[in-house]
Amino acid sequence: MQNFWFFIEVLVGGLLSGIMYSLVALGFVLIYKASSVFNFAQGAMVFFAVLTFVGVMELGLPFWAALPVAIGVMVLVGMATERFVLRPLVSQSEDTLLMATIGLSFVIEGVAQLAWGVDVRNLNLGIQDEPINWVMDKTGMLISQLDITAGIVASIMVASLALLFSRTKVGRGLRAVADDHAAALSIGIPLKHIWMLVWATAGVVALVAGMLWGARSGVQFALVWVALKALPVLIIGGFTSVPGVIVAGLLVGASEKVVEVYVGPKFGGGVEVWFPYVLAVLFLLVRPEGLFGEKIIRRV
Amino acid sequence: MNVTPPVQSSILQATERAFPFGPPILELSSISLRFGGVQALTNISFNVLEHEIRAIIGPNGAGKSSMLNVINGIYVPQEGSVTFRGERLSEMTPTQAAHLGMARTFQNIALFRGMSVLDNIMAGRILRTHATFLEVAFQLPRARREESENRAAVEEIIEFLEIEHIRKTPVSRLPYGLQKRVELGRALAAEPKVLLLDEPMAGMNIEEKQDMCRFILDVNDHYGTTVVLIEHDMGVVMDISDRVVVLDYGKKIGDGTPDEVRSNQDVIDAYLGVAH
């Protein structure tokens, strides 16, 4: 019985951190769907967003006031990106757009540190990163309150985004824009608004992801590398699929923890660092479009 | 030469039509368009009457597509203006054009390749959809009503274009002729006043061309939609158009009924070549 609860503990811990991977990956999917570009600046946006949030709180604003300010700043970043980076590059190749986002990432990282300094900060969300007592008493499992909160917040965001994209006018417009710019314009979809909206939404998703990661590991430059954790999730889930990255995030989170605990000791530990990438490579070999990605059909 | 000739009375008397011609819905006056040093269009004027099928023809590189793109707002001409439904527009965007009631198809099919036939045509309904995120999330009456209206409209178009059997098929798997038909369907879904067709029959075999002609005539007859079409194939155009504009090297060299155009010496020279 002890063993069983221990397994569940590992699994739940993995699933909950997996949800946080999904959340970061979701930012990529949003932008990939609208602009067909792998947004290299997503990690920088995570860093910038949470740093802005903490910076505003340090200026003396309470949590509930700092949050809308940070959201507002991310919306402005989204609008500025559309105006100054994307609009001049309409109809350019995807490679050009990718290069532009690499440039954008340096700008955002620079501005973030210029505005708020380079110190590592603590972010206190008022939720302890400690095990929940009654779960521990009942089952002996150690499940963090922060993980549970993160899981709930991420689930709500994921559910509302999924709804937004599958059922609403904006979602249909977004899918159309992703497929063909000229055709989307011809049926009256305002390309500019869609891009602005998507980048702003990706900014808000980055803020939430940054807050959850920052609360655990401190608000510091290393947050830009959170994006790397999203890479295997994107490959497994498919770059264009919202449900795909959710399932893939859970899969990566759970499998890396389970493998670390049960197989890790044979390799001397540290397996969770590279296991997701091995999994991603396996997917590339077997199912390159990802779990729910659009099937790649190539006519010869 | 650049003044639109008075409409032939013979056309106006075509009383057997379900939608007799109305006043000009679209007027182009003195349009000139340059790309750098290339003069794509020079001082072109013509009009399109409501419920008319109007063709723009001409040899390769005559400026047909440029003309259509000016009408659609993709290109902004350096000189001249476009008047659409009484509104004079010096700078129009494709999005505005769509809002004002224009829909179009493209020479190189521009469908949403990742989506099914149904979803592509549904996307054409986007301007007819107004429900907000929250209304959809809570399935409020407007969201539900719009959804069912859109479904009904799309089903009608699918039936009209005889593509029921492929409604769930991803468009990228369809043969060329059917893709063209789906693109027409998406344009129709917006319930446009004016339909712009950029070489709707290019690359088709005889049978597909005949089908497309039938659909264009049916659309005009059934919905009263005004059609402006570009075509390369002169024979096909002459059969279905009410009036034809002929372009050559960016200039208008002919304008009138198919019979008039056919007997116009400039047009014959442009198409068959002439000894200089």
> Which has more confidence, B70 or A136?
B70
Question: Treating both helix axes as pointing N-terminal to C-terminal, what angle do A191-217 and A42-58 enclose, rounded to 10 degrees?
Answer: 70
B226-231, strands of its sheet edge to edge: B102-104, B194-198, B226-231, B53-57, B243-248, B251-256
Two tokens, residue B166: 């492929």
Give the mean pLDDT of B89-105. Answer: 85
pLDDT in tens, chain A (300 residues): 678 888 888 888 888 888 888 888 888 888 887 777 888 888 899 999 999 999 998 888 888 889 999 999 999 998 888 888 888 887 678 888 889 999 999 999 999 889 888 888 888 777 777 777 777 777 777 777 878 888 888 888 878 887 877 777 777 788 788 777 788 888 888 878 888 888 888 899 899 988 888 887 788 888 888 788 888 998 898 887 778 888 999 999 999 888 888 887 888 778 888 888 999 999 888 887 777 766 655 555
What count of CB pairs under 8 Å joins A to B?
85
Phi first, then psi: give them for residue B102, nearest 5 degrees.
-110, 140
- The DSSP call for residue B5 is P
Of A167, A172, A183, the CB nearest to B111: A183
Q: Do B115 and B170 meet the contact criterion of CB atoms below 8 Å apart?
A: yes
What pLDDT is stored for residue A24 in this prediction? 86
Domain boundaries, chain B: 1-101+194-276, 113-191
- Determine the Cα–Cα distance for residues A239 and A293; give it in Å rounded to an integer: 7
Q: Do A290 and A248 meet the contact criterion of CB atoms below 8 Å apart?
A: yes
On the 0-12 / 13-18 / 19+ scale of CB atoms within 10 A, B105 is buried
Distances (CA, A) of B49 to A13, B159, B168: 69, 28, 37
Any alpha helices (H) in B133-205, and if so which ranges?
133-137, 141-160, 176-189
Q: Which residues of B touch A290 (CB under 8 A)?
A: none
- Determine the Cα–Cα distance for residues B149 and B122; give it in Å rounded to an integer: 11
Position B15 pLDDT exceeds 70: no
A69: Cβ contacts below 8 Å, ≥ 6 apart: A52, A53, A56, A61
What pLDDT is stored for residue B12 in this prediction? 43
Distances (CA, A) of B253 to A147, A227, B79, B141, B272: 74, 60, 19, 55, 14
On the 0-12 / 13-18 / 19+ scale of CB atoms within 10 A, A182 is middle
Of A234, A210, A235, the closest CA to residue A288 belongs to A235
Nearest chain B residue to A178 by CA: give it: B112
What pLDDT is stored for residue B6 in this prediction? 47
pTM, entire model: 0.72
Residue A281, amino acid: V
Per CATH, domain B1-101+194-276 is 3.40.50.300: yes
Of A175, A188, A297, the CB nearest to B172: A297
Bridge partners of residue B55, in order along the sequence: B229, B244
What pLDDT is stored for residue A298 in this prediction? 57
**Tokens 């009924």 label which residue?**
B257
Two tokens, residue A58: 């340090």
Domain boundaries, chain A: 2-227
What pLDDT is stored for residue B167 in this prediction? 87
Interface with A, mutate which of B125, B126, B173, B176 (most A CBs under 10 A): B126
3-state secondary structure of B216: helix
Between chains, do B111 and A180 touch, taking CB under 8 Å as contact?
Answer: yes
If one counts every other C-beta atom within 10 angstroms of the C-beta of residue B61, the result is 13
Of B103, B119, B136, the CB nearest to A168: B136
**Tokens 């559309």 label which residue?**
A82
The confidence band for B111, taking pLDDT boundaries of 50, 70 and 90, is confident
Chain B residues 168-197 with CB within 8 Å of chain A: 172-173, 186-187, 189-190
Q: Which residues of A touch B129 (CB under 8 A)?
A: 169, 172
Q: Which residues of B touch A184 (CB under 8 A)?
A: 112
User: If you write DSSP's letter for every residue of B65-80 in order, what string do you get?
Assistant: HHHHHHHHTSS--SEE
Two tokens, residue A124: 């206190």
If one counts every other C-beta atom within 10 angstroms of the C-beta of residue A105, the result is 21
Residue A73, amino acid: V
What pLDDT is stored for residue B13 in this prediction? 44
Asked if ipTM goes beyond 0.90, one says no
Q: Is A160 on the interface with B (CB under 8 A)?
A: yes
Q: Which residues of A touch B119 (CB under 8 A)?
A: 175
Q: What's the sign of the alpha-carbon dihedral A133, A135, A136, A137?
A: positive
Nearest chain B residue to A181 by CA: give it: B110
Between chains, do B190 and A188 touch, taking CB under 8 Å as contact?
Answer: yes
Of A41, A65, A40, the closest CA to residue A53 belongs to A65
What pLDDT is stored for residue A297 in this prediction? 57
